[in-house]
Structure 1
Amino acid sequence: MIYPIIMYGDPVLRQRAADIPVGTDLTQLIEDMYETMHNASGIGLAAPQIGKSMRIFIVDGTIIEDEPAMADFRKAFINPEMLDETGEFWEYEEGCLSIPNIREKVERNEKLRIRYYDEGWNLHEDEFDGMKARIIQHEYDHLEGKMFVDYLTPLKKRLLKGKLSDISKGKVDTEYRIAAPLKK
Structure 2
Amino acid sequence: MKTLADLLLLGDPRLYETCSPVLPEEKKLVEGWVADLDNVMREVRAKYGFGRAIAAPQLGIMKRLIYMNIDRPVVLINPELTYLSDEVFELWDDCMSFPHLLVNVKRHQTITVSYLDEHWSAHQWTMHDSLSELLQHEYDHLNGVLCTMRAIDEKSFRWR
Regions of 4+ moved over 6 Å: none
Q: Aligned-pair distance for 1:87?
A: 4.4
Q: Deviations over 1:42-90 (max 9, x none)?
A: 211111100111100111223xxxxxxxxx5x31110111111104211
Does 1:29 pair with 2:17? Answer: no
Q: Corresponding residue for 1:125?
A: 124
Alignment correspondent of 1:38: 42
Q: Provide TM-score, normalisation by structure 1.
A: 0.75
One-letter amino acid of the counterpart of residue 52, structure 2? I
User: In percent, how many aligned pairs have the same letter?
Assistant: 26
Cα distance change, pair 130–153 in 1 and its aligned pair in 2 (3 A): closer
- Give the SS at the match of 2:94: strand
Paired residues in the alignment total 150
1:127 is paired with a residue whose SS is strand
SS of 2:58 mapped into structure 1 = helix
Which structure: larger Rg? 1
TM-aligned CA deviation for residue 154 of structure 1 = 4.8
Give the CA deviation at 1:40.
0.7
Q: Is the Cα contact below 8 Å between 1:12 and 1:52 reproduced in 2?
A: no
Unmatched tracts of structure 1, length 5 or more: 63-71, 164-184
Q: CA RMSD in A?
A: 1.8
Structure 2 residues without counterparts, runs of 5 or longer: 46-50
- The Cα shift of 1:92 comes to 1.5
CA distance in 2, matches of 1:60, 1:95: 16
Superposed counterparts of 1:127-166, under 5 Å = 127-156=126-155
Q: Which residue of 2 aligns with 1:19?
A: 21
1:20-57 deviations in Å (ceiling 9; x for gaps): 11251111211121111111112111111001111001
Cα distance in structure 1, aligned partners of 2:130 and 2:116: 21
Aligned 1:28-177 pairs, distance under 5 A: 28-41=32-45, 42-62=51-71, 72=72, 74-156=73-155
Q: Which moved more, 1:131-140 or 1:97-106?
A: 97-106
Q: Is the Cα contact below 8 Å between 1:95 and 1:104 reproduced in 2?
A: yes
- Kept in 2: contact 1:59–1:135 (CA 8 A): no
Letter in 1 for 2:95: C
Secondary structure at 1:100 match in 2:
coil
